[in-house]
Amino acid sequence: MTAADHAALAEKLAAELDPGAERPLSSQIVDRIWLDVIGGTIETGERLPTVRQLAVHLGLNPKTVELAYEQLERLGIVSTRPGEGTFVRLNVPDDDARKRRHELEQCGLDAVARAESLGFSVEDLLDTLDDIRTAKRDHGRDWSEQ
């Protein structure tokens, strides 16, 4: 991608991102880039704008763009090479990976439904998951032991 292509991508994202939407901005970025990749607007091997470039252009916290790029990497859509950048790779996951991903999505849907049945919002659930992740990372604590 050229600098003009980076600017065009950022302009398209800026026009389509909805800060008031329930879906987080990082997820909206993932969706838009994914659609551009599968639609052929962004080709395999192309370098995406840096986290900082895209964050500045969109007027977002760089952490938001970083989260989007991390999600794209987990999904196998991009790969990051330290010192070089983030590139579209679009490795199609194998059947086992797709099955595991589907099961994880179902687990998430089940957790959302359970939280909502208890009167909690998706944001409350995400906050709790973040607390669990922090406790495991910072203290090596197994949350299930409480």
Contacts of 98 (CB under 8 A, 6+ apart): none
Query: 84 with 99, same domain?
Result: no
Query: 44 with 81, same domain?
Result: yes
Q: Which of 70, 88, 106 is the last residue before a domain boundary? A: 88
Query: 46 with 111, same domain?
Result: no
Whole-number pLDDT of residue 141: 57
Query: 121 with 136, same domain?
Result: yes
- What's 12's domain CATH number? 1.10.10.10
CA angle 21, 15, 2 (to 5 degrees): 130
Asked if pLDDT for residue 143 goes beyond 70, the answer is: no
Q: Which of 41, 56, 88 is the last residue before a domain boundary? A: 88
Whole-number pLDDT of residue 110: 95
Mean pLDDT of 16-22: 87
User: Which range marks the domain in which residue 24 is found?
Assistant: 3-88
Whole-number pLDDT of residue 94: 67
How confident is residue 142, by pLDDT bands cut at 50, 70 and 90?
A: low
Asked if pLDDT for residue 26 goes beyond 60, the answer is: yes
Asked if pLDDT for residue 67 goes beyond 90, the answer is: yes
- Cβ(70)–Cβ(80) below 8 Å: no
What's the domain count of the chain? 2
Mean pLDDT of 5-29: 85
The rounded distance, in Å, linking the Cα atoms of 36 and 40 is 6
* CA nearest neighbour of 49 among 60, 38, 39: 60
How confident is residue 25, by pLDDT bands cut at 50, 70 and 90?
A: very high
How confident is residue 38, by pLDDT bands cut at 50, 70 and 90?
A: confident
Of 144 and 87, more confident = 87
Backbone CA torsion sign across 102, 12, 54, 82: positive
Write the DSSP string, 94-139: PHHHHHHHHHHHHHHHHHHHHHHHTT--HHHHHHHHHHHHHHHHHH
Query: 33 with 84, same domain?
Result: yes
Whole-number pLDDT of residue 14: 84
Buried b (16+ CB within 10 A) or exposed e, 86-96: bbbbbeeeeee
* Mean pLDDT over the full length of the chain: 86
Query: 31 with 74, same domain?
Result: yes
Q: What is the largest CA-CA distance in the chain?
A: 53
